A and B are shown apart, each in its own frame.
Chain A
């Protein structure tokens, strides 16, 4: 129930961001900022204009000063990436991509996205250029916010990172670029307002928080909430928004104390793991397990599935009570060796509780349809094929199975609407955490 609820809000929000009329309200907000006493501005850190101003080189080879050319007077979203980053960067990039597409219709180019490499030694302008092309193809569009990929002097970049508050007291952790890859520094030099945002929180929150800092009128937030409530309650617009601002009661949901049980996994699957050894899913009883089908001919689909699995692995592998199983029918192409490479690219280590299992096509189909409750493959008409070998369309939802072998959720982490994909990826994480949450420590009473 819960899952459906959050997913249902998605389209409503998406429609809303297209309907916004930002011009008027933004002007009003700006006026208010304009009349604030200079004293208030004095409290801003930028009063001393103390920001470092190193020369950085972008993906086009242009030399730009960080503060003078990129930050001064602007709203910015800054992150620290590196091109061979497997872990957080792809997810951070998805967040940035979503923000840029959301902002295209609203704030447009008044916000700048600055991705600065945390590995400037190896991420030279030549290395960054193809990476940037891959991620920011659409930067030429006049309304898409600019996305700069920047490199420069490693020491200066580290000083800059520290100045932006991304500094660990333990130098080993501080020097590990992956520690800084899951943070967006959102700031507005004009108002002096800055915050750090975790790109892995609920996508709608990332967007809302970012909007508030980059200069979107904060009153808009309430329009969002009112409209959301209206959309999810009755579909009709609210008669009197001021009245409802006092108490926005979200619609009554059946407050089920547990995740719904969608089915029970009956027979286990036996197959070959990428290591070449025979495995069976029956010993996974007692663990929280996430199953997903890999369709190697659908690169975007597999990428989304694997990226979510990777994130789940990174979050929950340490618990020892969690397992991931990627499934694929065996074929002359899809051999255990093939999946060894595949797993390496996905960032799955040998020690990770993450299997890549192949079995006969019929066994896999039986397990995914009868066992996991996924849709049967749909034959794809020739005109819909993106790849000549792509004869079927597969249900690529991830399936969450609890310790008792009960199916507790199916999550569409690959959806044409990236916003919904991200919501689903977030939700499976939250639900997994829920299933893994052990009964709290009991105490002896005094």
Chain B
């Protein structure tokens, strides 16, 4: 302990002589507490030693033709097969452009803790296949895929772990077979061909609905009973989606990027646009992740990580950056701001860009959510250090302090009572060859088409509650054979998501498409700006009821909807809906099951 503290002091001392600190310093913030069953866990982790990991995207093994790495096995010729949609794709899905990848879920080692601690951490992560079909080392977060709208992708995923897995690519629009359904597993030693057609749902006139094109997606394990422990061990990764609208915004220098480069290539090479996946963990003194598989209320770590590194630093040019924040924790909610409380431009919620950005000083982010933000570092002199801070205290599994409304506020009033620093930005001079992006709160981004009340076919209500130590929805528990809702393909439904469980927070995630908030029945309030477009996770604070509308297009079910506190999800706070040719107001047995 003594040596670590000294090291931290000396490190900070060196830095303090040569740079401008913005906001509070590394020592001044509030520590995170750890539950008593993790007594003896690592407490003091030196900050800003790690460098923020920035993943380089994998290249497809092949385009159009099956790659040699597939070992001569055609798509679908693996134990768990491929989605039937792969074989019946319409002509305008451009199947001739299909990109092929292969990935394995496997055990590995990672350097999450800073180098001075000399500890490595065993993880369960994902490894991309080399051209010869062998797999590289497992990493966490997993390989960052870059999916271009209109270009189909097949990822052959092999399970090299001793437990069953199911990979859910969160934020996209996928066939049921490929959606990472909690019961559509990849067994140990087996493979599944995940088919991601990257098609948009169609409007009533048959045209593709480009307002639904997803930008910020992430994938994580979703296997029934195992999701939380798998995610806590590292089974998550990010995926960037982009379409011609976004490339055009870069070409016109609205969004950060290198015009003429980031907007031209097919892999979206953009140094000014990155994911920040926020996680929290408890570490055993050996460096291993310490997770309590018997706690089904929520896992709160005392060490914060970003992109799989504890308290990293990141060197930024004095220009605008686009950061896609991801709530990759299983249970921790956060409220993020910059240490000098300066403004950021929030440009999206979950997978979708707003029509126009929103100026904020802080934003709330729950497990499963993504928040798309532009930060302009050109306001800082080179040599400045500015910190990214979480200002939301959460001391127990129930949820954070304060109300949903407080957490969602776009401004920060006064000095927060709780500050925990996550990341240090080191500002350097901008490369003058590349102009700063022009985006501001007036820039037109992605149009939005609201769902009207007149389109609603069926209304349903779902109450998320605690029942005899388990997590229930409408008093019932997840049953892989029951479609708890049966929406008609192409229809619009209105659902009331109600949280009546005393004091607990539930971020509710609905698969397949975005949903739109209509009204908060508890407060009577219309959704805040950031929630008035599209999202795939709706945060429910204690005793809140939020009405949402959603369309169910392109793919027949079943699909999941559940609490994205992964521990709650594992103890049955999960339902499924089966999109079907004809809808039903009542629950029905599921009619399709993609083992």
Binding site for B on A (CB under 8 A): 2, 5-6, 29, 32-33, 36-40, 42-45, 47-48, 50, 88, 163-170, 179-183, 185, 187, 191-196, 198, 200-202, 205, 209, 212-213, 218-219, 221-222, 225-226, 242, 245-250, 252-253, 255, 257-259, 315, 430, 433-434, 437, 439-446
Q: Which residues of A contact B288 (CB under 8 A)?
A: 39, 42-43, 47
What are 21 A-B contacts defined by CB distance under 8 Å?
A33-B162, A38-B122, A42-B284, A43-B288, A44-B293, A45-B292, A47-B286, A88-B468, A166-B469, A196-B571, A201-B477, A212-B164, A213-B225, A247-B81, A430-B587, A441-B496, A441-B545, A442-B459, A443-B496, A444-B519, A445-B454
Q: Which residues of A contact B293 (CB under 8 A)?
A: 44-45, 192-195
Whether B409 is near chain A, meaning CB under 8 Å from some CB there, is: no
Whether B115 is near chain A, meaning CB under 8 Å from some CB there, is: no
Selected interface stretch from B185-193, B236-244, B424-432: B185-193
Let me know if A185 and B294 touch, CB within 8 A: yes
Q: Which residues of B contact A442 (CB under 8 A)?
A: 459
Q: Which residues of A contact B480 (CB under 8 A)?
A: 205
- Nearest CB in chain B: distance from A444 CB, A: 8
Q: When the two chains form the complex, which single residue of B37, B82, B84 contacts A50, counting CB atoms closer than 8 Å? A: B37
Q: Which residues of A contact B292 (CB under 8 A)?
A: 45, 165
Whether B570 is near chain A, meaning CB under 8 Å from some CB there, is: yes
Whether B518 is near chain A, meaning CB under 8 Å from some CB there, is: yes
Let me know if B294 and A45 touch, CB within 8 A: yes
What is the chain B residue whose CB lies nearest that of A440? Answer: B461
Q: A247-B177, A446-B526 are in contact. Are A222 and B519 (CB under 8 A)?
A: no
What 10 pairs between A and B have smallest CB-CB spacing?
Answer: A246-B81, A39-B122, A445-B453, A440-B461, A165-B294, A42-B288, A440-B459, A182-B468, A194-B293, A195-B225
Whether B402 is near chain A, meaning CB under 8 Å from some CB there, is: no
Q: A43-B233, A218-B187 are in contact. Are A255 and B582 (CB under 8 A)?
A: yes
Q: For the complex, give the distance between the alpha carbons of A247 and B580 in Å.
A: 16
Q: For the complex, give the distance between the alpha carbons of A276 and B592 in Å.
A: 53
**Bitwise interface map of B from 480 to 523 toward A, beta carbon under 8 Å scored 1, else 0:** 11100010000000111000001100000000000000110100
Q: Which residues of A contact B460 (CB under 8 A)?
A: 440
Let me know if B586 and A434 touch, CB within 8 A: yes
Let me know if A247 and B459 touch, CB within 8 A: no
- Known pairs A167-B297, A198-B477, A218-B187 / 6 extra A-B pairs, C-beta < 8 Å: A195-B225, A246-B177, A249-B592, A441-B459, A441-B547, A446-B519
Let me know if B188 and A29 touch, CB within 8 A: yes
What is the chain B residue whose CB lies nearest that of A315? Answer: B475
Q: A246-B80, A247-B594 are in contact. Are A205 and B469 (CB under 8 A)?
A: no
B162, B185, B452 — most chain A CB neighbours (10 Å): B162
Interface SS, B side = loop
What is the chain A residue whose CB lies nearest that of B572? Answer: A198
Q: When the two chains form the complex, which single residue of B37, B289, B469, B595 contacts A182, counting CB atoms closer than 8 Å? A: B469
Q: For the complex, give the distance between the alpha carbons of A257 and B588 in Å.
A: 8
**Bitwise interface map of B from 72 to 108 toward A, beta carbon under 8 Å scored 1, else 0:** 0000100111101000000000000000000000011
Let me know if B398 and A32 touch, CB within 8 A: no
Q: When the two chains form the complex, which single residue of B396, B547, B589 contacts A253, counting CB atoms closer than 8 Å? A: B589
- Nearest CB in chain A: distance from B94 CB, A: 23
Whether B408 is near chain A, meaning CB under 8 Å from some CB there, is: no
What is the chain B residue whose CB lies nearest that of A87? Answer: B468
Q: Which residues of B contact A445 (CB under 8 A)?
A: 452-454, 518
Let me know if B398 and A2 touch, CB within 8 A: no
Question: Interface size bucket, B side?
Answer: 35 or more
**Bitwise interface map of B from 42 to 85 toward A, beta carbon under 8 Å scored 1, else 0:** 00000000000000000000000000000000001001111010
> Which B residues between 387 and 409 are near A, CB-CB below 8 angstroms?
396, 398
Let me know if A37 and B107 touch, CB within 8 A: yes
Q: Which residues of A contact B474 (CB under 8 A)?
A: 433, 437
Q: Which residues of B contact A163 (CB under 8 A)?
A: 37, 294
Q: A182-B468, A246-B81, A257-B586 are in contact. Are A43 and B591 (CB under 8 A)?
A: no
Q: Which residues of A contact B37 (CB under 8 A)?
A: 50, 163
Let me know if A441 and B398 touch, CB within 8 A: no
Whether B584 is near chain A, meaning CB under 8 Å from some CB there, is: yes
Whether B328 is near chain A, meaning CB under 8 Å from some CB there, is: no
Let me know if A42 and B122 touch, CB within 8 A: yes
**Bitwise interface map of B from 268 to 312 toward A, beta carbon under 8 Å scored 1, else 0:** 000000000000000010101111111111000000000000000
Q: A36-B107, A40-B124, A169-B396 are in contact. Are A245 and B294 (CB under 8 A)?
A: no
Q: For the complex, give the distance between the alpha carbons of A441 and B519 in Å.
A: 12
- Nearest CB in chain A: distance from B249 CB, A: 29
> Which B residues between 150 and 195 are near A, CB-CB below 8 angstroms?
161-164, 177, 185, 187-189
Let me know if B162 and A179 touch, CB within 8 A: no
Whether B593 is near chain A, meaning CB under 8 Å from some CB there, is: yes
Q: For the complex, give the distance between the alpha carbons of A187 and B296 in Å.
A: 14
Q: For the complex, give the distance between the alpha carbons of A132 and B453 in Å.
A: 59
Let me know if B589 and A245 touch, CB within 8 A: no
Q: For the complex, give the distance between the alpha carbons of A259 and B123 in Å.
A: 49
Whether B470 is near chain A, meaning CB under 8 Å from some CB there, is: yes
Whether B132 is near chain A, meaning CB under 8 Å from some CB there, is: no
Q: For the complex, give the distance between the alpha carbons of A112 and B496 in Å.
A: 43
Q: When the two chains form the complex, which single residue of B289, B469, B570, B582 contacts A195, counting CB atoms closer than 8 Å? A: B570
Let me know if A255 and B519 touch, CB within 8 A: no
Q: For the complex, give the distance between the alpha carbons of A333 and B117 in Å.
A: 79
Let me know if B122 and A43 touch, CB within 8 A: yes
Let me know if A245 and B79 touch, CB within 8 A: yes
Let me know if A250 and B79 touch, CB within 8 A: no
Whether B585 is near chain A, meaning CB under 8 Å from some CB there, is: yes
Let me know if A257 and B584 touch, CB within 8 A: yes
Let me know if A225 and B595 touch, CB within 8 A: yes
Q: Which residues of B contact A441 (CB under 8 A)?
A: 459, 461, 496, 521, 545, 547
What is the chain A residue whose CB lies nearest that of B459? Answer: A440
Q: A32-B189, A39-B107 are in contact. Are A255 and B584 (CB under 8 A)?
A: yes
Q: Which residues of B contact A193 (CB under 8 A)?
A: 163, 226, 293
Whether B590 is near chain A, meaning CB under 8 Å from some CB there, is: yes
Let me know if A39 and B109 touch, CB within 8 A: yes
Whether B476 is near chain A, meaning CB under 8 Å from some CB there, is: yes
Let me know if A433 and B469 touch, CB within 8 A: no
Q: Which residues of B contact A225 (CB under 8 A)?
A: 593, 595
Q: Which residues of A contact B449 (CB under 8 A)?
A: none
Let me know if A258 and B453 touch, CB within 8 A: no
Q: When the two chains form the complex, which single residue of B82, B189, B547 contacts A246, counting CB atoms closer than 8 Å? A: B82
Let me know if A165 and B297 touch, CB within 8 A: yes
Q: When the two chains form the complex, which single residue of A40, A169, A255 contacts B588, counting CB atoms closer than 8 Å? A: A255
Q: Which residues of B contact A5 (CB under 8 A)?
A: 589
Q: For the complex, give the distance between the alpha carbons of A430 and B477 in Å.
A: 11
Q: For the complex, give the distance between the alpha carbons of A439 and B585 in Å.
A: 9
Q: Which residues of B contact A247 (CB under 8 A)?
A: 81, 84, 177, 592, 594
Let me know if B162 and A32 touch, CB within 8 A: yes
Q: When the two chains form the complex, which single residue of B81, B286, B470, B502 contacts A183, counting CB atoms closer than 8 Å? A: B470
Let me know if B177 and A179 touch, CB within 8 A: no
Q: When the two chains form the complex, which single residue of A45, A212, A250, A315 contacts B592, counting CB atoms closer than 8 Å? A: A250
Whether B457 is near chain A, meaning CB under 8 Å from some CB there, is: no
- Nearest CB in chain A: distance from B540 CB, A: 15
What is the chain B residue whose CB lies nearest that of A229? Answer: B593
Let me know if B595 and A255 touch, CB within 8 A: no
Q: When the two chains form the complex, which single residue of A185, A187, A191, A205 contacts B162, counting CB atoms closer than 8 Å? A: A191
Q: When the two chains form the complex, which single residue of A169, A219, A253 contacts B591, counting CB atoms closer than 8 Å? A: A253
Let me know if A219 and B187 touch, CB within 8 A: yes
Whether B209 is near chain A, meaning CB under 8 Å from some CB there, is: no
